[in-house]
């Protein structure tokens, strides 16, 4: 069973759900049917193997459960908080045929925190005898790839443009959903493997990767994620309109600069980041928060648990709606006009597929507008290697082995899949590491 959400904790930017107690973890694990070829494990993109760690908890091997999670998923503690389990492992849970699925992320969090509290040995340090690999970007995919390569005794160096690693979990996910010490714990586990970090080391020049490959690195893995938010042209040049990345980072690291107490905020978008922005605005004291989306309520890209959180926080949904006009006093937005819409072709959720519904016009006041309509790779992809093939929204093209069109250069995570879960990024990082190992060994054997 899920622990209740504490709205008072959200307002204080503390974990919104209490961890399972030992008694509750034992009770919850005993609901597991101990399936052969556990479907929950098959549906975990990160390969965390919930079937195994739940079995270990059920038979009182709590440290063993913590080891299983850490060995399989270097972001195991992060995933315990942010993984959309209702779409993955819990969706596949056999218990679901009879009652609510086993609370897998609750048990994962219990095991991780038990391991923290009572201590488990550090991960083995890489002997650095297999070769040298450079990883560009220290988000989930980069961390996972680096960890897996370290297990194979590679010397791995991560180049990160920020002053700390962690990617989206570190910089954009609010602390009421992901406590700050969680990503720090996963980073410590990666450090224990002997992975080297070069912070504030953005890879910019066109020949930077070529120099890496010429100067000792056997391969390069690009995992720079999605860094450039989309913006609506109609909101350009207004001082009180910002993208969700700017807003969430300011809330997380410079909250005093966000003066929205008692004000009305409009968030445009229907995904997870839009909900994060809306709930964060309410936690910062906003009187009223609207969430305006093209998708209808049952179509929102945000997870059901996130939508439920927004409803608990009294976010006002203007779903199935489009903004048509901005009201302003020149520099600042004072309100938005919109109209309700329907899809011309069912199931195709794109702006060019909407039909406005006459007579459904509306207007809302707004002291600030936050845009959360998606993100794409930034200019760094073109800057570091103009010859890299891209497709769609600028994401890097790779084959089934995560190889780019350039020899020795691999890529994975959001910069390839266009934006998915932390678990999927972890899984792609692990797979990429195995193919990098295969590439390096084949290249040596062919000489």
Sign of CA dihedral 179, 246, 147, 425: positive
Antiparallel, parallel or unpaired: β 241-243 and 368-371: parallel
According to DSSP, residue 408 is labeled T
Measured in degrees and rounded to the nearest 5, phi and psi for residue 210 equal -60, -40
Structure tokens at 416: 């390839």
Q: What share of the chain is helix, strand, coil (3-state, %, to 5)?
A: 40, 15, 40
**Tens of pLDDT along 111-134?**
999 999 999 999 999 999 999 999
Which CATH code for domain 131-227+377-446?
3.50.50.60
Please state the rounded mean pLDDT for residues 260-275.
97
5 burial level (CB within 10 Å; 0-12, 13-18, 19+): middle
Nearest 5°: the CA angle 407, 408, 411 is 105
- Per-residue tokens: 386: 């103009």
Strands, E, within 283-414: which ranges?
A: 288-292, 316-318, 321-328, 333-343, 354-356, 362-365, 368-371, 375-376, 390-391, 395-396, 409-411
Across residues 198-207, what is the average pLDDT?
Answer: 88
Tell whether the torsion through CA atoms of 367, 249, 413 and 55 is positive or negative: negative
pLDDT per residue as tens digits for the range 274-297: 999 999 999 999 999 999 999 999
Whole-number pLDDT of residue 1: 62
The residues of the chain that CATH labels 1.10.1060.10 are 7-118
* Selected residue with higher pLDDT from 369 and 3: 369
- What is residue 76's predicted lDDT score, i.e. its pLDDT? 96
Taking a C-beta distance cutoff of 8 angstroms, is the pair 273, 172 a contact?
Answer: yes
Comparing 11-25, 81-95, 248-262, 383-397, which segment has the lowest mean pLDDT?
383-397
The arithmetic mean of pLDDT across residues 60-71, rounded, is 97
pLDDT for residue 445 is more than 90: no
pLDDT band for position 406 (cuts 50, 70, 90)? very high
> What sign has the CA pseudo-torsion 186, 212, 402, 130?
negative
Give the percent of the chain with pLDDT over 90. Answer: 87
The fold of 7-118 is: Fumarate Reductase Iron-sulfur Protein; Chain B, domain 2 (1.10.1060)
What is the average pLDDT score of the chain? 94
Q: What pLDDT score was predicted for residue 205? A: 83
Options 3.40.50.300, 3.40.630.30, 3.40.190.10, 3.50.50.60; CATH for 229-375 is 3.50.50.60
Question: 306-353 pLDDT, tens per residue?
Answer: 999 999 999 999 999 999 999 999 899 999 999 999 999 998 998 899
pLDDT of 382 higher than 80? no
Task: Please state, for a pLDDT cut of 70, what percent of the chain lies above it.
Answer: 100
pLDDT at residue 411, as a whole number: 97
CA pair distance 62, 194, nearest whole angstrom: 26
Within the chain, all domains assigned CATH 3.50.50.60 are found at 131-227+377-446, 229-375
């Amino acid at each position: 069973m899920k622990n209740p959400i504490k709205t008072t904790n959200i307002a204080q930017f503390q974990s919104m759900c209490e961890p399972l107690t030992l008694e509750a973890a034992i009770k919850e694990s005993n609901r597991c049917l101990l399936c052969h070829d556990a479907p929950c494990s098959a549906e975990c993109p990160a390969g965390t193997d919930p079937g195994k760690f739940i079995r270990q908890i059920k038979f009182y091997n709590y440290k063993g459960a913590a080891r299983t999670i850490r060995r399989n998923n270097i972001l195991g503690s992060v995933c315990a908080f942010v993984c959309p389990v209702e779409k993955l492992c819990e969706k596949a849970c056999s218990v679901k045929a009879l009652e609510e699925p086993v609370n897998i992320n609750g048990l994962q969090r219990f095991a991780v925190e038990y391991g923290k509290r009572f201590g488990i040995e550090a991960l083995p340090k890489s002997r650095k005898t297999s070769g040298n690999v450079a990883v560009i970007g220290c988000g989930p995919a980069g961390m996972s790839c680096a960890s897996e390569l370290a297990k194979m005794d590679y010397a791995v160096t991560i180049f990160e443009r920020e002053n700390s690693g962690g990617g989206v979990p570190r910089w954009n996910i609010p602390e009421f959903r992901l406590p700050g010490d969680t990503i720090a714990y996963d980073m410590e586990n990666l450090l224990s493997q002997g992975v080297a970090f070069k912070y504030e080391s953005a890879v910019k020049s066109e020949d930077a990767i070529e120099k890496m490959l010429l100067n000792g690195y056997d391969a390069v893995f690009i995992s720079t994620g999605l860094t450039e938010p989309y913006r609506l042209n109609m909101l350009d040049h207004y001082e009180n309109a910002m993208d969700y990345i700017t807003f969430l980072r300011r809330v997380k690291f410079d909250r005093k600069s966000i003066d929205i107490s008692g004000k009305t905020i409009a968030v445009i978008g229907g995904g997870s980041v839009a909900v994060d922005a809306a709930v964060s605005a309410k936690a910062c004291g906003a009187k009223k928060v609207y969430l305006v989306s093209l998708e209808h309520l049952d179509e929102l890209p945000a997870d059901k648990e996130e939508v439920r959180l927004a409803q608990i926080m009294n976010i006002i949904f203007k779903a199935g709606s489009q903004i048509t006009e901005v009201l302003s006093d020149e520099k600042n937005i004072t309100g938005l006009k919109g109209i309700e819409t329907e899809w011309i072709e069912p199931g195709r959720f794109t702006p060019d597929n909407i039909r406005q519904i006459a007579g459904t016009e509306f207007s809302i006041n707004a002291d600030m507008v936050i845009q959360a309509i998606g993100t794409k790779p930034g200019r760094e992809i073109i800057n570091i290697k103009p010859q890299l093939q891209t497709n769609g929204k600028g994401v890097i093209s790779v084959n089934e082995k995560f190889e780019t069109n350039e020899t020795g250069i691999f890529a994975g995570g959001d910069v390839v899949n266009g934006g998915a879960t932390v678990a999927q990024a972890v899984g792609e990082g692990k797979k990429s590491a195995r193919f990098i190992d295969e590439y390096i060994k084949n290249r040596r054997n062919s000489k």
